[in-house]
């Protein structure tokens, strides 16, 4: 760390006032600092460079240490058709943000801010790419990112990233009610508040576009190799209309949706998109892709790994390795009955 020395000079105020009157554009302290800088510059070049390098290295080490200890939360907020990405430090966890939400939506007119983001005076704007990077870091569970949140006031949805399940989404009204029950006792410990919050949110999770959770990725059929990829068929046992904007969860038509997740064999990782095929009752099809974000990709990989182990008795990487081998060395797909 930098080794600073305090140099104290005493001077009669009348001398100080007279000197500063003649200095005009600077104070006496600023002038003396310039004098010290000039004295440093007059040192032998090698000595000056050595000391400067030491101070720079110490300062860099201090900043790195402070950054290593700093924690964050990342936010995406949509309200009245506008959106913001920002981060906070030290960063809020689920209960903290949920309490802010309740205070905002239940606040009396004139006392609550006109926009939710006004509750985060120290929030630092970030890009969508930085937000996605912080989401990935949250999924790594390093402790660096304490929470990642997506609050959509236009849709009245509250989403948060769970380190095991990825995105979890609830209606804002359910989050507000859960916070009320969790915090109404002033004697409840933090652990009790957490437990009560999660208890009241249990079973109320909803499906939301852009926030596919681990429960979404349930597979059926065998894993098929096709065009350099391992193809997984995703069961549609969830609200696909809410997730993908379709209209198949209805008795008004006989349309259905096929969803495929792919694992790139050469890249040794899941593909960045889900492939969707809307099969219509009139025999036509409509195909498009759904872009996965960092949390969705991570939980997809975990569920692929789990399903591959169940179906083949092999890790996903080992199973994919068979298809990277020369054709004559390949084994056929192994299915566990």
Q: Residue 336 falls within a domain, yes or no?
A: no
Cβ burial of 308 (10 Å; 0-12, 13-18, 19+) is buried
pLDDT tens-place string over residues 104-162: 998 866 667 889 999 998 999 999 999 999 999 999 999 999 999 999 999 999 999 99
| Mean pLDDT lowest among 49-63, 122-136, 142-156, 232-246 | 49-63
State whether 251 and 270 are in the same domain.
yes
Confidence at residue 188, expressed as pLDDT on a 0 to 100 scale = 86
Cβ burial of 75 (10 Å; 0-12, 13-18, 19+) is buried
State whether 52 and 85 are in the same domain.
no
pLDDT tens-place string over residues 171-219: 999 999 999 999 988 888 989 999 999 999 999 999 999 999 999 999 9
Q: Residue 26 falls within a domain, yes or no?
A: yes
- How confident is residue 332, by pLDDT bands cut at 50, 70 and 90? low
Confidence at residue 109, expressed as pLDDT on a 0 to 100 scale = 63
State whether 146 and 133 are in the same domain.
yes
Q: Indicate the residue among 173, 201, 229 that finishes a domain.
A: 201
Contact status, residue 147 vs residue 94, Cβ threshold 8 Å: yes
Q: Residue 262 falls within a domain, yes or no?
A: yes
Expressed as residue numbers, the domain containing 285 is 217-329
Contact status, residue 126 vs residue 107, Cβ threshold 8 Å: no
H helix intervals, 184-293: 190-201, 240-244
Q: pTM of the full predicted structure? A: 0.78
Residue 157: which H helix or E strand, with range? strand 157-162
**Using CA of residue 43, residue 48, residue 50, residue 56, what is the dihedral sign?**
positive
Domain tally, the chain: 3
Residue 106: which H helix or E strand, with range? helix 94-106
pLDDT tens-place string over residues 20-32: 888 888 898 989 8
Nearest to 216 by CA among 303, 298, 149, 135: 303
Contact status, residue 130 vs residue 122, Cβ threshold 8 Å: no
Q: Residue 145 falls within a domain, yes or no?
A: yes
Q: Indicate the residue among 69, 87, 102 that finishes a domain.
A: 69
State whether 65 and 78 are in the same domain.
no
Q: Residue 6 falls within a domain, yes or no?
A: no
Contact status, residue 256 vs residue 248, Cβ threshold 8 Å: yes
Q: Residue 207 falls within a domain, yes or no?
A: no
Distances (CA, A) of 277 to 90, 147, 211, 219, 240: 43, 34, 20, 16, 12
CA 73, CA 195: separation in Å to the nearest integer? 21
């Amino acid at each position: 760390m930098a080794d600073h020395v305090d140099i104290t000079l005493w001077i009669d105020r009348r001398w100080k006032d007279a000197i500063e009157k003649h200095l005009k554009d600077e104070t006496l302290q600023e002038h003396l600092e310039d004098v010290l800088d000039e004295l440093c510059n007059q040192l032998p070049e090698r000595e000056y460079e050595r000391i400067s390098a030491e101070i720079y290295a110490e300062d860099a080490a201090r900043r790195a240490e402070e950054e290593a200890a700093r924690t964050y939360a990342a936010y995406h907020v949509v309200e009245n058709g506008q959106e913001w990405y920002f981060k906070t430090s030290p960063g809020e966890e689920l209960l903290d943000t949920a309490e802010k939400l309740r205070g905002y939506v239940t606040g009396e007119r004139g006392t609550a801010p006109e926009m939710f983001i006004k509750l985060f005076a120290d929030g630092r704007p970030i890009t969508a790419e930085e937000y996605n990077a912080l989401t990935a870091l949250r999924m790594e569970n390093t402790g660096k990112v304490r929470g990642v949140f997506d609050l959509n006031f236009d849709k009245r949805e509250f989403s948060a990233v769970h380190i095991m399940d990825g995105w979890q989404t609830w209606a804002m009204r359910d989050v507000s009610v859960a916070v009320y029950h969790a915090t109404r006792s002033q004697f409840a410990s933090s652990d009790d508040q957490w437990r009560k919050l999660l208890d009241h949110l249990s079973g109320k999770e909803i499906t939301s576009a852009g926030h596919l959770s681990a429960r979404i990725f349930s597979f059926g059929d065998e894993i098929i190799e096709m065009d350099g990829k391992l193809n997984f068929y995703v069961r549609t046992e969830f609200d696909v209309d809410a997730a993908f904007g379709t209209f198949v969860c209805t008795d008004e038509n006989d349309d259905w949706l096929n969803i495929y997740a792919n694992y790139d064999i050469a890249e040794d990782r899941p593909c960045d998109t889900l492939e969707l095929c809307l099969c219509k009752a009139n025999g036509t099809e409509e195909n498009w892709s759904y872009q996965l974000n960092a949390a969705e990709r991570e939980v997809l990989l975990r569920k692929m790994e789990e399903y591959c182990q169940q179906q083949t008795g092999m890790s996903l990487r080992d199973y994919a390795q068979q298809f990277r081998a020369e054709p004559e060395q390949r084994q056929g797909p192994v299915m566990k009955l």
